[in-house]
Amino acid sequence: MSVVVGSASATPPAEKPETPSNSPVVAQQSVDREVSHSDNIEHLANLPKQPPFNNVGAYGTDIAFQGKHAFVGNYDGFVVYDINKPESPKVVSQVACPGGQGDVSISGKLLFVSTDYPRTNDTCDSEETDAADPNGWEGMKIFDVSNPEKPRYLSSVRTDCGSHTHTLAPAKQGNDVYLYVSSYAPSAEFPNCQPPHDKISIIKVPGNNPAEPELIDAPVIFPDGGNPGSPSTSATTGCHDITAFPSKDIAAGACMGDGVIFDISDREKPRVVEQVRDDENFAFWHSATFNNTGTKVVFTDELGGGGAATCNDETGPLKGADAIYDLSADNELSFASYFKIPRNQEDSENCVAHNGSLIPVPGKDIMVQAWYQGGVSVWDFTDSANPQEIAYFDRSPFSSDLQIAGSWSAYYYNGHIYSSGIQEGLDVLKLNDPRTDPAEKVKFREFNPQTQPVYRD
């Protein structure tokens, strides 16, 4: 394992010009791109990607939080940031461990990292290999980050089709944790990723022996087959992402052509209890977020796979958007409305609904969300049928031609919004709005956005 320890710190944004209320604020940033944002959101800091991740192929991805640290995935490994002073984040350590995606979650001293590209072995010194290689390795890696300055590789588990994303579900008793591994894109030519792959993988990590994780099951969750697909909708061959709501023993699955609700009361035997489709407007069910009471689910549609310019008049407001569903006590989903950012983007900007989290405002349903080069949006879906954007942060295009960039994940954690940029590094934002100010009283010691905690409502 190659660990690069650094002490790089953030460059604060340029001073804001005076602006009238409700008009965009424009400033030049450390990543040399113009920024516009609503007047109720402040750009505190940007910390660009540091070597060896300062290249266009080293995509910044998801984020997990613990105490004063943010753990940010990268296609080439992961980065540990000190966010004790949000206005001045610092790199604590970087782990070079290539494998694609780099989805992360944290539990105690353990950091879980997804590997989604076939490698010659499970070490961080492995090389890329072809998916047709029967000896290729993909799956989950586990690191000990009890000393954030020196992460230590503990163990790994191989999973079919690798791990595109994963979701942490704590055991109902004791300190064991379960990982629900989502992966897809099977092919008859791939010996370790055979169709139909209508399943997820379940890993158990013993709390008293995390060096010995176990793949305990790979249940078929669509025994009758998922969505067969159409010219405009992906066929279901597994799930893209799962969000757990442990307090209610449920999870929401965004499964390519299907949106589902799981019963996870038995952590080792999740089962689908509700399934919906939207073949008219949803191309690829990508991710899900519950509201705080578990009575709504926001599903995202990653139209174009995150690499297309879909925030424009040609695509319209219903595709590449969020879909808000009300969730009954019997776990039935009822469609309420769509939400999409109201600002058109350039044809050179990849833009579509992506990862976000709730802003913990008691009695309200408000979330922050990444939209790739569409920036960061804060929106209110308290009225399921009439969602409204209330704040935004948006950079000018990364390039004059279409290249993959922008905010991969944008999450609220202990008073601030943190955005992981594919090319932009870490951005820190501050909301200044009476509608969201109550969220500052809510603090978490640990936060995995795909394992939703409940705050006092």
| pLDDT tens by residue, 68-117 | 999 999 999 999 999 999 999 999 999 999 999 999 999 999 999 999 99
Q: In terms of Cα–Cα distance, which of 166, 152, 70, 149 is closest to 113?
A: 166
**What does the pLDDT average to over 232-239?**
96
Domain ranges of the chain: 2-447
- 8: pLDDT confidence band, cut at 50, 70 and 90? low
Per-residue pLDDT at 28 exceeds 70: no
* Phi (first) and psi of residue 230, to 5 degrees: -155, 180
Name the helix (H) or strand (E) containing 110. Answer: strand 110-119
Distance linking the first and last C-alpha atoms of the chain: 44
Query: Looking at the predicted structure, is the pLDDT value of residue 27 above 60?
Result: no
DSSP state of 68: T
Q: Nearest-CA neighbor of 128 among 176, 105, 162, 174?
A: 162
- pLDDT higher for 7 or 176? 176
Find the mean pLDDT for residues 32-40. Answer: 93
What integer pLDDT is reported at residue 32 of this predicted model?
Answer: 75
| Cβ neighbourhood burial of 136 (10 Å; 0-12, 13-18, 19+) | buried
DSSP string, 258-298: EEEEEE-SSTTS-EEEEEE--TTT-S-EEEEEE-TTSSEEE
* Neighbouring-strand partners of residue 104: 113
- Fold of the domain built from segment(s) 2-447: Methylamine Dehydrogenase; Chain H (2.130.10)
Per-residue pLDDT tens digits for 171-210 = 999 999 999 999 999 999 999 999 999 999 999 999 999 9
In the sheet that holds 407-413, the strands lie side by side as 41-47, 425-431, 416-421, 407-413
In this predicted structure, the answer to whether residue 33 has a pLDDT above a threshold of 80 is yes
* The pLDDT value given to residue 31: 64
Q: What's the confidence (pLDDT) of residue 457?
A: 65
pTM (2 decimals)? 0.94
pLDDT band at 456 (very low <50, low <70, confident <90, very high): confident
The mean predicted confidence, pLDDT, of the chain is 93
Given this model, what pLDDT does residue 17 score?
Answer: 31
Contact 93, 70 (CB under 8 A): no
Residue 15: predicted pLDDT: 35
pLDDT of 407 reads: 98
Q: What is the distance of C-alpha 382 from the center of its chain?
A: 22
Mean pLDDT within 344-362:
98
Residue 2 has pLDDT above 70, yes or no: no
Tokens matching residue 135: 């000896």
* Separation of alpha carbons 282 and 302, rounded Å: 8
Alpha carbon distance 85, 88 (integer Å): 5
